[in-house]
Chain A
């Protein structure tokens, strides 16, 4: 839920990166963190296992600038992708303003993508949200790998509505900021609509 503080003139929004295990959600956040000026970001918090798999969530606050005198701050979260962390994923979706689904483009991960997207729809629904209405962006990550599915195939399986779609290579930043901009823009547009 967008939180607006008239005293400090701030708009705070929550964006969640969702997707199957090892699809590159944390890598998206890490790239944004590494590429952002220190004054525009807070700490990148990672609640991860000893092997760097996300256990609960990753989090970073990002300040984009001022709209009509209000500072806009986006709180970026990732969820743990592994199937058995579903309880954690549900918690992180609470109060979400926008969602990025990061799909792993590798052929052998198609089923994992489909399962994770279905899980997103279910978990959003349990929180009172509708994937068809919430600000939402679809990212096809790992496009640099040799064994990727064709875009048409990915789109046929994973597109749910008229969502913006981006090809990405999160490790080198390709498509990372385009994805973020697209979802942030939708969130602010939604705020304008009321």
Chain B
């Protein structure tokens, strides 16, 4: 494979959840998501309700992938943020390296507030993800002892 697995450890996940919870309050947002650029949901917080988080993550990643390619076609390096404004609910997506910080907000908040608050949180998330990326390589090497324990029987049992 081109890349080794991306691993989020428990303490890192807990810290990410804290950042998202705070951002959600500070933005007066409905919900906040952290999503991998490949479309995997990493963490979320807020009024999730009926939102299908897996589909949401995949579509957000597809959305950013498409707009980033459009940016290149017009000579921009990338669009660091993408906004979708609806009648009641809106979405603000901030691109942080290989991840996306997505804020879903309604009339209780404003785009300006969301932008400002998200910018600060982005730095914290970026540092957190950088740490996770660094650790992933080391874990892949050592903790692979855990995955190396997976037997053919374990894999076959998934398909029985």
Contact = CB atoms under 8 A, between A and B. Distances in A.
Interface of A: 1-8, 12, 14, 42-43, 45, 47, 56-57, 59, 61, 64-65, 67-68, 72, 75, 77, 87-88, 91-92, 94-95, 97, 127-129, 133-135, 181, 184-185, 188-194
Interface of B: 1-10, 13-14, 36-40, 42, 52, 54-55, 58-59, 62, 65-66, 69, 140-141, 144, 146-150, 154-159
The binding surface of chain A is classed by DSSP as: mixed
A127 B10 CA distance: 30
Contact of B38 (A1, A43, A72, A88): A1
Given A6-B8, A94-B37, A45 B55 contact: yes
B54 A61 contact: yes
A190 B144 CA distance: 11
Contacts of A191: 5, 147, 150
Contacts, number: 132
A3 B40 contact: yes
Contacts of B13: 5-8
A14 B39 contact: yes
A194 B141 contact: yes
B158 A64 contact: yes
B158 A67 contact: yes
Q: Please give me the 9 A-B residue pairs with the lowest Cβ-Cβ distance, nearest first.
A: A95-B38, A7-B13, A194-B144, A2-B5, A91-B65, A128-B2, A3-B40, A64-B158, A7-B10
